[in-house]
Amino acid sequence: MLSSRAIRVWSWFHKWTSLVCTLFMLLLCLTGLPLIFHHEIGHLLGDEIEAPVLPAAMDAQRVSLDVMAKAANAVHPTRVIQYAGENEDDPRLWWFTLAPTPAPTEDFKSVAVDARTGLVVREYRVGEGFMDLMLRLHVDMFAGLPGKLFLGFMGLLLLIALVSGVVLYAPFMRKLDFGAVRKDRSTRVKWLDLHNLVGIVTLVWCFVVGATGMINTWADLLVKYWQYTEVSTLLAPYQGQPLLQARDRGPLQASLDTAMHHGQQRKVSFIAFPGTAFSSPHHNTIFLKGTTPLTSRLLQPLLV
């Protein structure tokens, strides 16, 4: 049983953490809703890229990854390919991200290539359109890493508000049935009962969304930690070696075949090219994923 002093302390935490994070949680809800239906909205707006219709006999054929990369690079010959990957919804398409340098940048282009013919289908609309606006507002509010960390802090306040709300729920509702809304009382009491009902019913969902969203804001920091701990250890034998020029690298398809051989029972998620944030200056890093609902979300990086 909480004392009156403890109830006041928990009430203070619940009130102020809720008030501070409410506006930003509303922003995330409003921007996150259209992102859930991004495929449907993309089709409606004509932004979705679909593979061309070819004879059924050609659907199973695949050209070399080097052919696809060359076709993508020909669209923007002054840029370098940073990343490439199979389209999650249509394996007949591969996407290639091109930027001025391998270093992380917001200046990038994305090209879709038909894996059956090696021909460019279309460029993705990068940095424009309604869905990109929603995505940027949802991820970092156009503020980069500081914006992500700020939203992560708002997520932490949401978790504190949820925990404090649970602590206060029993003292406030101990004389009422679960879900009771006292309609015969004042407007303030009715709103309080509705607040308690909605809060306790959506508790688990809100906690999962808040916790995972907060962790997602740490992505850039976790990548840097991975580079500092795991990748730096693997690159110790390469210290002092000159960097290979793009023309001196081995075939990209051979790198993928090697990775697929070592990562049996897995599919390719994406490829990070040398010098990018998810690779090293000396390797193609192939990220593989499993084939089950759980393992498809767990990536295994292989440096080749």
Q: Check pLDDT > 90 for residue 158.
A: yes
**By the 8 A CB rule, do 52 and 121 touch?**
yes
* Tokens standing for residue 140: 């970092």
pLDDT in tens, 58-107: 888 999 999 999 999 999 999 999 999 999 888 899 999 999 999 888 88
Question: What's the CA gap between 198 and 15, in Å, rounded?
Answer: 16
Question: What's the CA gap between 252 and 248, in Å, rounded?
Answer: 12
Average confidence score pLDDT of the chain: 91
Q: Exposed, middle or buried by CB within 10 Å (0-12, 13-18, 19+), for 22?
A: middle
Degrees, nearest 5: CA angle 284-298-87 = 65
DSSP 229: I
Question: What's the CA gap between 207 and 203, in Å, rounded?
Answer: 6
Q: Would you state the pLDDT for residue 2?
A: 78
**Paired strand residues for 94:** 86, 113
Query: Which residues have a Cβ under 8 Å from the Cβ of 54 and sit 6 or more positions away?
Result: 116, 117
**Paired strand residues for 112:** 95, 122
Work out the pLDDT band at 45, boundaries 50, 70, 90: confident
* Tokens standing for residue 61: 């054929």
Question: What's the CA gap between 104 and 117, in Å, rounded?
Answer: 30
Question: What's the CA gap between 192 and 189, in Å, rounded?
Answer: 5
Question: What's the CA gap between 100 and 104, in Å, rounded?
Answer: 10
pLDDT in tens, 94-141: 999 999 999 888 889 999 999 999 999 999 888 888 889 999 999 999
